[in-house]
Amino acid sequence: MQWEVVIGLEIHAQLATKSKIFSAASTAYGAAPNSQACAVDLGLPGVLPVFNKEALRMAVKFGLANGCDITRRSVFARKNYFYPDLPKGYQISQMDHPIVAKGELEIELEDGSTKIIGITRAHLEEDAGKSLHEDFHGMTGIDLNRAGTPLLEIVSEPDMRSAKEAVAYMKKIHSLVQYLEICDGNMQEGSFRCDANVSIRPKGQQEYGTRAELKNINSFRFVERAINVEVERQIDVLEGGAKVVQETRLYDADKNETRSMRSKEEAFDYRYFPDPDLLPVEIDDAYIEAIRATLPELPDAKKMRFIDEYNLKAEDANTLTSDRGLADFFEAVVKTGGDTKLSANWVISELLGALNKGSMGLAESPVTAEMLGDMIKRIKDNTISGKIAKQVFAAMWEDEGDADAIIEAKGLKQVTDSGAIEKIVDEVLANNPAQVEQYRGGNEKILGFFVGQVMKASQGKANPGQVNQLLSAKLKD
Amino acid sequence: MSIERSDVEKIAHLARLELAEADMPGYVHNLSSIFDLVAQMDHVDTDNVEPMAHPMAMTQRLREDIVTETNQREHFQQIAAQTENGLYLVPKVIE
Amino acid sequence: MHNKTIAELSQSLAQGAFSSVELTQAYLERIERFDGQINSYITVAADEALAAAKQADAQIKAGTAGILTGIPLAQKDIFCTNGIKTTCGSKMLDNFISPYDATVISHFKQAGAVMLGKTNMDEFAMGSSNETSFYGAVKNPWDLDAVPGGSSGGSAAVVAARLAPASTGTDTGGSIRQPAALCGITGLKPTYGRVSRYGMIAFASSLDQAGPMARTAEDCALMMNVMAGFDDKDSTSIAREVPDYSVTLNQSLAGLKIGLPKEYFAEGLDNDVAGAVQAAIEAYKKLGAKVVEISLPNTGLSVPAYYVVAPAECSSNLSRFDGVRFGYRCDNPKDLEDLYKRSRGEGFGAEVKRRIMVGAYVLSAGYYDAYYIKAQKARQLISQDFKRAFEKVDVIMGPTSPTVAFNLGEKIDDPITMYLSDAYTIATNLAGLPGLSVPCGFVGQRPVGLQIIGNYFDEARLLNVAHQYQQHTDWHARAPEAFR
């Protein structure tokens, strides 16, 4: 049987506010356990929540960036359940009236085609604390620092048909929230997490199959693997004549399998109702328009502009705009260096390569955009060749100074004095009479050999164009 | 409206309340009479009435995004039943 | 000393007739001597009280004192008090030393008031007789066989028995007004949002409101001047200027339009209580007020709607009591579920468990619309009744409670009868309106309360209307014989 995969994602993005969604405690990551859990976060008797202005602004910003409907009157509701990392016994969330309603997002697939994925809603809620399962005499430790951190839960329509589509969607949202500066996107620290609702159905069937919810998948790679392995499991179940059970499953990356979360097996009855400690959040058009005015250029628009303005290939434009910081870096390189194609090549292959090799973020790069731009300027004005530039770049990476200083100190300036080049060319031709004969006998491919020899003799400093020219002229004599 | 023992057991579980066996009949009886009382609402037509969640027609005030809370862990954990290394301890959570 | 009102005590302190330490000492001695009979305090904070009194005396001497500086007060044990046990009348919080102060408590501290201790109350404010307290029932100072009312029964009893000049209470369905009525004192439930709820242990968040309980309306006004006001820690707190409630006390009542809802004088009202209330209305007529009959047709919905809304909110509010971060934890929990179920099963009393279960039920899947939404619609209808009424009248009057204080044990096993004793007070909580109870007579030894309901933020008028009555009657000045 031909199966069709149906996937919907629930993405939890921690909003990059300084303080928590309902208290004035810090949201900073990595503090000592419970040192950032204030009376409100602990749910002490008598405490009350007050809503953080920034969390609202960020949620609205997200909605506007996706053309979503913004709810003029949104309501906080309590989701009631008992769990040790949930101090009040309920999570403040939104149910019937989420701040962000319907919208959509276009994703690009590997073959270059695009697809529209529906956004059902995005609502504000508070994060829970963390359970630490190291052994405390057979007990579990609870750290409530994370409790109350604002989350935007972005719920998609079940519009994705493969793990790859799911990953493309997730990456798109990931890039977007960072563009909007509403989430740091740090998946290792849990700032950006994802649950996937996965089901399968016979191709052509209208109704959806029973779905399993895969919890807390914390990397793009795992999303793809978790979905694929879950799909295989469901196919095995159905083809074995059994039924898929609606349940929550946990992806185990070590074993590359999903397994039922027994602790969550019990059918939950969350008893949602409007939180009486909080009032309806009302916003007007002026508020929304003021936020719209602050929207930055978004990835799609930026990509189009890069293609247009810098004459980049779609693929390069894609890479450069996948991250707002990278796009800004590239534009700064262009501004200094002048050459868009060189700048794109250097940023994409050399800079990203070096960062990847060192597992570093862009912010940690020892080579700034200005430094790289200056170096490109030296390629453009023939001070150095592209090949020498690699040496210069490597030296800049090792903090040896800017391009000019390195070129000077290492004597890497390109030789453009045609007399000097001619001298080397003559020497090379004189030392390789056999190859000269071959060339003159019609093997013109051997020209590369002479170029290589000249460059070697000049320690790479001879201008390759001039070398070519001189060689061709002399060999034809 | 009559509440069954099984209803009481179900909601006691939802609310995480252990009820003594001896008290069970009393809860069944009392909850039934409470729901009889509540059922008096059914006589009133509320079809076109807007539900009222809150006594005052007010909207939510917004707090500036400023951190003012400081670490009071030692103070707060003095009243906790069991803590270690700054963590609250609970019986093992199985996932 | 103990028969003086706050207004009188404040004057005496200012004149140096006695010091706050002497006054506080005198009250502590009375508590020591009398409280065994009525069980009105859960915690007496003698050392802290004397220390605060000493500070107050210094302020009085320095000339920086306010009206409440050095005045001993009792606080309902629902308000969190930093460093002092805060039990909410429950075994669940028997070990709870609050790590912070409620906003109301901070306000009184800033005003220089002295806290004598924390008063007994129905467990988590759920009750109308003070019999659900883990710390035992409170007895009515007027008749030790009778209940003081609830849930602020301890707060009402301390004032009636002169074990504090005044106290605070909280009112979710009548918990200030009904015990005030049953104990013959004056109690005000302000407009919802007028007094901060921060640090007041929540029962039903959309109904709870704190207010003063004292012998006179004038004292309630002085307390309100300190309690009321905007609090940025409470999202439901109202940013609206607080008037000086004492300056309008003496306004004339000539032309005041009083509405008498016929539903409040119907079946279920005790004849003698009705008589006392009618007599009070006559007194108001003599003061120049005009009386009109009005109708609040949805009055009958208030008790049923309340017993959906309040339990729903309480079931969620009380989920935080799980034995992890504070409060009672059962011995040797065998697993997480056992920890939750036994800590909560053993820590909460029967009435609290009943209401939590009712609340969990009405919010659960499949019942939400039939119960919770229906109740919210009923709430709307009740609120609209009042809106229409206040287009015609300035205040609404009626009995606070259908009967005088009932006997201890009389209703405790029958929740429904107990719930109906709040039939006249609940509607104002659902609507968020202010209400006040003022003593207006006796049936036998047991006091009767007149309820005065005002429009939103009309506390000043309620206090004025009550004060004028108290200028012409002496019900409020009487003290139970055994405690004079």
Q: What are phi and psi of A301, to 5 degrees?
A: -65, -40
pLDDT at C291: 98
| B26 inside domain | yes
For C431, which of B31, B55, B61 is closest by C-beta distance? B55
pLDDT at position B1 is: 64
Clarify whether residues C373 and C411 are in a common domain. no
Kindly state the average pLDDT of the residues A204-226. 92
Q: Which two tokens stand for residue A26?
A: 């810090």
Chain C: partners with 3+ C-beta pairs within 8 Å: A, B
Q: How far apart are CA C184 and CA A36, in angstroms?
A: 48
Nearest to C69 by CA among C11, C142, C17, C121: C11
Which of B61, B69, B73 has its CB closest to that of A34? B73
Q: Which residues pair with C73 in a beta bridge?
A: C115
- Size (chain B), residues: 95
CB-hemisphere CA count at 13 Å for C340?
21
- Here the CATH number for the domain that contains residue C23 is 3.90.1300.10
CB-based contact C344 B17, cutoff 8 Å: yes
Beta bridge partners of C76: C119
Residue C294 lies in a domain: no
Task: Give the tens place of pLDDT for each residue, A25-63.
Answer: 999 999 999 999 999 999 999 999 999 999 999 999 999
Q: Is the pLDDT of residue A414 over 80?
A: no
Residues C372 and C417 in one domain: no
> Does the beta-carbon distance from C235 to A46 stay under 8 Å?
no
| DSSP 8-state assignment for residue A51 | E
Residue C101 domain-assigned? Answer: yes
In a domain, C284, yes or no: no
Pick from C102, C325, C364: which is nearest to A46 by CB? C102
Instruction: Supply the mean pLDDT for chain A.
Output: 92
Is residue C173 within 8 A of residue C425, CB to CB? The reply is yes
Domain presence at residue C94: yes
| Low-confidence spans in chain C with pLDDT less than 70 | none
Counting every residue written for chain A, the total comes to 477
Quick check: is B14 in a domain? yes
pLDDT of residue A145: 98
Query: Does residue B48 fall inside a structural domain?
Result: no
- Is the pLDDT at A264 greater than 60, yes or no? no
Contact between C117 and C31 under an 8 Å Cβ cutoff? The reply is: yes
Residue B9 lies in a domain: yes
What is the number of domains present in chain B?
1
| Selection from A85, A214, C320, A265 nearest residue B93 by Cα | A85
- Nearest beta carbon to residue B69 from set A23, A51, A271: A23
State the number of CA atoms in the 13 A half-sphere of A276 facing the CB: 26
Are C341 and C402 in a shared domain? no
Separation CA A126–CA C201 (nearest Å): 22
pLDDT of residue A266: 56
> Does residue B90 form part of some domain?
no
Tell whether C331 and C475 lie within a shared domain: no
Q: What percentage of chain A exceeds 70 in pLDDT?
A: 99
Q: For residue A157, how many other CB atoms are within 10 A of its CB?
A: 15
pLDDT given for residue A185 in this prediction: 93
| Beta-bridge partners for C435 | C189, C453
Q: Do B26 and C315 touch (CB under 8 A)?
A: no
Query: Does C354 share its domain with C241?
Result: no
Contacts of B34 in chain C (CB under 8 A): 307, 354, 358, 415-416, 419
CA distance C459 to C325: 39
Note the pLDDT tens digit of each residue in C95-115: 999 999 999 999 999 999 999
pLDDT in tens, A57-92: 999 999 999 999 999 999 999 999 999 999 999 999
Asked if C403 and C352 sit in the same domain, the reply is no
Number of Cβ within a 10 Å radius of residue C367:
17
CATH number at residue B13: 1.10.20
Is there a contact between A12 and A151 (Cβ–Cβ < 8 Å)?
Answer: yes
Residue range of the domain that includes C193: 6-256+392-483
Q: Are residues C58 and C139 in the same domain?
A: yes
Residue C401 token pair: 């409670």
Beta-strand pair C257-261/C290-294: parallel
Report how far residue C425's alpha carbon sits from residue A204's, in angstroms, rounded to the nearest whole number.
62
**pLDDT tier, A267 (very low <50, low <70, confident <90, very high otherwise):** low
**Domain-located, residue B77:** no
In a domain, C288, yes or no: no
Nearest to C416 among B33, B60, B72 (CB): B33
Residue B55 belongs to some domain of the structure: no
How many distinct structural domains can be found in chain C? 2
Residues of B in contact with A140 (CB under 8 A): 89-93
What pLDDT was estimated at residue A265?
44
Whether C363 and C431 share a structural domain: no
The C-alpha atoms of residue C327 and residue C343 are separated, in whole angstroms, by 9
Indicate the length of chain C as a whole number: 484
Q: Would you say C435 and C183 are in contact if contact means Cβ atoms under 8 Å apart?
A: no
Residues C308 and C430 in one domain: no
Catalytic residues of C: 76, 151, 175
State whether residue A80 sits within 8 Å of chain C by CB.
yes
Q: Average pLDDT of A389-411?
A: 90
Give the distance between the most distant pair of CA atoms in chain B.
58
Q: CA-CA distance, C22 to C60, in Å (whole number)?
A: 14
Torsion of CA C12, C15, C20, C21, to 10 degrees: -120
Q: Rounded to an integer, what distance in angstroms lies between the CA atom of residue A167 and that of residue A179? A: 18
CB neighbours of residue A325 within 10 Å = 12
Largest CA distance in chain C: 69
Would you call A44 and C326 a contact, using CB atoms and an 8 Å cutoff? yes
> Does some domain include residue B49?
no
Mean per-residue pLDDT for A219-247?
94
Which residues is C448 bridged to in the sheet? C441
Residue window 4-33, chain B: list those with CB within 8 Å of chain C: 7-8, 11-12, 14-20, 23, 26-27, 30-31, 33
User: Range of B35's domain?
Assistant: 5-43
Verify whether the Cβ–Cβ distance B88 to C356 is below 8 Å: no
- Taking alpha carbons only, the member of A219, A124, A115 closest to residue A169 is A115
pLDDT digits (tens, 9 = 90+) for A101-148: 999 999 988 888 999 999 999 999 999 999 998 777 889 999 999 999
pLDDT given for residue A383 in this prediction = 86
pLDDT at residue C436, rounded to an integer: 98
Interchain CB distance below 8 Å, A89 and C102: no
- Phi and psi at C343, nearest 5°, equal -60, -45
Which residues have C-beta within 8 Å of that of residue A271, sequence separation ≥ 6? Answer: A78, A79, A80, B14, C315, C316, C360, C363, C364, C365, C368
- Both tokens of residue C457? 């933020």
Contact B90 A142 (CB under 8 A): yes
Two tokens, residue C440: 């207006």
* Contact yes or no for A418/A424 (Cβ under 8 A): no
Contacts of A250 (CB under 8 A, 6+ apart): A214, A215, A216, A258, A259, A260, A261, B95
Domains (range + CATH), chain A:
3-290 (no CATH), 299-410 (no CATH), 418-476 (1.10.10.410)
CA distance B32 to chain A (A): 20
CB-based burial of residue C28 (10 Å sphere; 0-12 exposed, 13-18 middle, 19+ buried)?
A: buried
Residue of B18, B62, B64 to mutate for C, most C C-beta atoms under 10 A: B18
Tally A–B CB contacts below 8 A.
126
pLDDT at A24 over 80: yes
Residues B88, A263: C-beta atoms closer than 8 Å: no
SS3 A445: helix
Whether the CB of C326 is below 8 Å from some CB of chain A: the reply is yes
